[in-house]
Amino acid sequence: MEIQFKDVSYIYQENTPFAHKALENISFKVGSGSFVAVIGHTGSGKSTLIQHLNGLSLPSRGEITIGDFRLSADGKPKNIRDLRRKVGVVFQYPEHQLFEETVAKDIAFGPKNFDVKQEEINLRIEKLFPAVGLSEELLERSPFDLSGGQKRRVAIAGVLAMAPEVLVLDEPTAGLDPRGQREIMDMFYQLHQEQNLTTVLVTHSMEDALAYADKIIILNKGQKYMEGSPLDVFKQTEKLQKVQLGVPEVIHFLNQYNERFGTSLNYQYQSMPELAEEIKKQLEVGSHE
Amino acid sequence: MDRKKLVEFKNVSFQYEEEGALVLNQVSFDIYEGEWVAIIGHNGSGKSTIAKLLNGLLMPKDGEIIVDGKKVDDDTVWDIRKDVGMVFQNPDNQFVGATVQDDVAFGMENRGVPREEMRERIQRTLSAVRMQDYLITEPHRLSGGQKQRVAIASVLAIAPKVLILDEATAMLDPTGRKEIMHTVNDIQESEGLSLITITHDLQEIVQADRVIVMNKGQIWKETTPRELFLQREELREIGLDVPFVAQLTDELRKQGVPLKEAALNHEELLEELWKFNSKM
């Protein structure tokens, strides 16, 4: 589903002395099927922004369209339930929201609320479980007996079981070890491609934004600060530094390398061996001049 | 070596449930005065259990733990906790005071530190973590990194001999992480205490003197960061990633660029490449 923000502002506690503008005149468009990373400091408006994607918050000004749904200050649209079924949100530390007696019941809770039949839910779980890296033996266990990584996967399965068309991920790998982080991100990326999802990833990791996103939106103090493809955004090191954001380490290293050796090596999604080869070649050529 | 042993783990085993698997299996190591040791491992490798055993939050099933000459048991645990200060993962779970200075004072009040001494220590420890301008700030107005810095000050105020940071950066954003690592560096130099940092981020072990790598409840390796960064494939097998510079160094060596040792940071790698370049 296509997502479009038109001059969206959101003000907490409007018309009170505590009024606080969390989003200010934000406009952008995310095409159906694209993978967008939203980056910004704590307090930049990222969380407020994603709360608008399934109507948890409605804009104070401006308008949001998500597929055929329209959100504005005029109040909740009648079909907001349909919107919430189609937009799955994986919040930070989603495992804190597990509550049922068994894993199977916990996963079924969401779809059941949307009147999905138990047989259909079972079918979905059957498909989902291998995809999220869980084995079916766990289905009748209590979610509270699982390891941290497994709990996170169960919570994610609960969102995926609603068969959303838009997937919103709020720092989905926080607190996991490197292998867990890689596995979870690869899993989302695979689902994104196989099911043609539109994915919105909120992250602090420039590395993940570079690896998975086709578009990056940078927020700063509630405003859109930058928007573009990862390579374009990360070319603008100085502009990012102005708001205390860095670039992915590989790009930072190449910048330093170029400065020291007077070269112009560019990052073009090379693998680590390819990069090493380029550097080696460059060193050899450079020395014969 | 005549450095003083501050912490000794002697064949320590631990399991959470009687019939359950051993979370720690015959673990032995020493930590010396003034030393910075990083303990790393994937989730569930047993690294955090070590921290909890160190200050008596858990008691070993087998083996013994000695802190500054005292065996950790039910009789000594309260003394031990004066010597072993801990900062945990979640910045929101470790605030007790209504303001920053109240929070730092809390631990000292429990230990009956005189008021004047308390004032002096609050100033000193908050300066050490560069939070001296936030004395009367309410905790919820602080960022995650600032909260963790105050948590470190609160622990420093009770003058422990060992400071343990148990994944203290895991829930912070990159800025917060940098703040904490910077702070840790500062205080290790200025306070001269032993430091144990527990993490799965190998970027954070660069400045440690020594590294203990945990895997499946056992010590997989005891080494230095530089040595460890050469073992990229093996680390990957136990769920850990070496930092970018170490990966690139490894690939360059595979391509035949004769780099002598693992670089710990960009500058070192660039310097090595520069030397290689001028020799050609």
Same-domain pairing of A103 and A213: yes
Q: What's the domain range around A258?
A: 248-289
- What pLDDT is stored for residue A209 in this prediction? 96
Cα B109 from Cα B91, distance rounded (Å): 21
Split into its structural domains, chain A has a count of: 2
ipTM for the predicted complex comes to: 0.82
Q: How many domains does chain B have?
A: 1
- Residue B149: count of CB within 10 angstroms of its CB: 28
Domain CATH code at residue B118:
3.40.50.300
Looking at the fold, whether A162 and A264 belong to one and the same domain comes out as no
Q: Which residue of B has its CA nearest to A39?
A: B173
* Residues A135 and A263 placed together within one structural domain of the fold: no
Q: CA-to-CA distance for B1 and B31, rounded, in angstroms?
A: 13
Which site among A179, A275, A277 would you substitute to test the B interface, given the most B Cβ atoms closer than 10 Å to its Cβ?
A: A179
Provide the angle, in degrees to the nearest 10, between the axes of the packed helices B266-279 and A272-288. 40
Q: Do B144 and A42 touch (CB under 8 A)?
A: yes
CA–CA dist B98, B105 (Å, integer): 11
Q: Residues of B with CB below 8 A from A179's CB?
A: 42, 239-241
Give me the helices (H) in chain B, please: 47-54, 77-83, 100-110, 115-128, 144-156, 174-191, 225-228, 232-237, 244-254, 266-279
Is residue A217 pLDDT above 70, yes or no? yes
Same domain? For A155 and A106 the reply is yes
C-alpha pair distances (Å), A59 with each of A8, A39, A45: 6, 20, 13
Per DSSP, B3 falls in state: P
Q: Report pLDDT for B50.
A: 93
pLDDT score for A83: 93
So what's the pLDDT on residue B2?
67
A198-203 vs A166-170, strand pairing mode: parallel
Looking at the complex, does the CB of residue A231 fall below 8 Å from at least one CB of chain B? no
A42 and A158 assigned to the same domain: yes
DSSP states of B238-254? TT----HHHHHHHHHHH
The shortest C-alpha distance from B170 to chain A (Å) reads 5
Domain membership flag for residue B279: no
Nearest-CB residue to B173 (from A204, A272, A277): A204
Residue A201 shares a structural domain with residue A220:
yes
Using the Cβ of B248 and the Cβ atoms of chain A, whether some distance falls under 8 Å is answered with yes
Residue A145 touches partner B, C-beta closer than 8 Å: no
Cross-chain Cβ contact B200/A178 below 8 Å: yes
Q: pLDDT tens-digit profile of A37-77?
A: 999 987 889 989 999 999 999 999 999 999 999 999 887 88
Among chain B residues, CA nearest to A248:
B244
User: Residue A273 pLDDT > 60, yes or no?
Assistant: yes
CB within 8 Å: B254 and A257: no
Query: Does B93 touch chain A if contact means CB atoms closer than 8 Å?
Result: no
Contacts of A250 in chain B (CB under 8 A): 244
Q: Give A116→chain B minimum CA distance, Å.
A: 35
Same domain, A129 and A143: yes
- State how far the alpha carbon of A3 is from the alpha carbons of A101, A188, B81, in Å: 36, 19, 54
* β pairing state of A3-12 and A20-30: antiparallel
> Which chain A residues touch B43 with a CB distance below 8 Å?
147-149, 176-177, 180
DSSP of A74-121, one letter per residue? TB--TTHHHHHHHEEEE-SSGGGG--SSSHHHHHHHHHHHTT--HHHH
In a domain, B252, yes or no: no
Coil, strand, or helix at residue A135? coil
Task: Spell out which residues of chain A touch residue B266, defining contact as CB-CB under 8 Å.
Answer: 252-253, 256
Residue A289 has pLDDT above 60, yes or no: no
- pLDDT for the residue A224: 96
Smallest CA–CA distance, residue B21 to chain A, in Å, is 13
Within this chain, do residues A9 and A49 fall inside the same structural domain, yes or no?
Answer: yes
For residue B170, list chain A residues with Cβ-Cβ distance below 8 A: 174-175
Q: What is the pLDDT of residue A287?
A: 56
Same domain? A64 vs A122: yes
- Position A210 scores a pLDDT of 96
CA of B162 to nearest chain A CA: how many angstroms apart?
25
Which tokens go with B233?
A: 């494939």
pLDDT for position B140: 83
Measured between beta carbons, which residues in chain A are less than 8 angstroms from residue B252? 276, 279-280
C-alpha–C-alpha distance, residues A229 and A244, integer Å: 20
- What pLDDT does A148 receive? 80
Structural domain of B200: 5-242
Q: A107: distance to nearest CA of chain B, Å?
A: 24
Q: Does A285 touch chain B (CB under 8 A)?
A: no
Cβ contact A42–B173 (<8 Å): yes
User: A37: Cβ–Cβ under 8 A, 6 or more apart, which residues?
Assistant: A201, A202, A203, A208, A209, A212, A213, A215, A216, A217, A230
Residues in chain A within 8 Å Cβ distance of B143 = 42
A277 in reach of chain B (CB within 8 A): yes
Q: What is the pLDDT of residue B112?
A: 87
Q: What's the pLDDT score for residue A179?
A: 84
Residue-wise pLDDT tens digits, A101-157: 999 999 999 999 888 999 999 999 998 888 888 888 889 999 888 888 889 999 999
Question: What's residue A76's pLDDT?
Answer: 81
Same structural domain, A45 and A81: yes
| Smallest Cα distance from A283 to chain B, Å | 6
| Long-range CB contacts (within 8 A, 24+) of A13-20 | A14/A60
Closest CA to B56 of B32, B34, B84: B84
Q: Would you say residue A8 has pLDDT above 60?
A: yes
For residue B269, list chain A residues with Cβ-Cβ distance below 8 A. 253
Q: Which two tokens stand for residue A83?
A: 């919107």
| Residue B168 pLDDT | 87
Residues of chain B with pLDDT under 50: none
* Chain B neighbors of A210, CB-CB under 8 A: none
Q: What is the pLDDT confidence band of residue A288, given thresholds at 50, 70 and 90?
A: low
Tokens of B74: 């039910």
Higher pLDDT among residues B94 and A201, named by residue? A201
Task: Please tell me the predicted confidence (pLDDT) of residue A137.
Answer: 87
Nearest CA in chain B to A92: B171
A268 in the same domain as A146:
no
Which residues in chain A are contacts of B245 at CB distance < 8 A? Answer: 253
Closest CA to B12 of B166, B219, B236: B219
Cα distance from B220 to chain A (closest Cα, Å)? 17
What letter does residue A49 receive in the DSSP assignment? H
CATH number at residue A201: 3.40.50.300
User: Do A224 and A253 reside in the same domain of the chain?
Assistant: no
B253 found inside a domain:
no
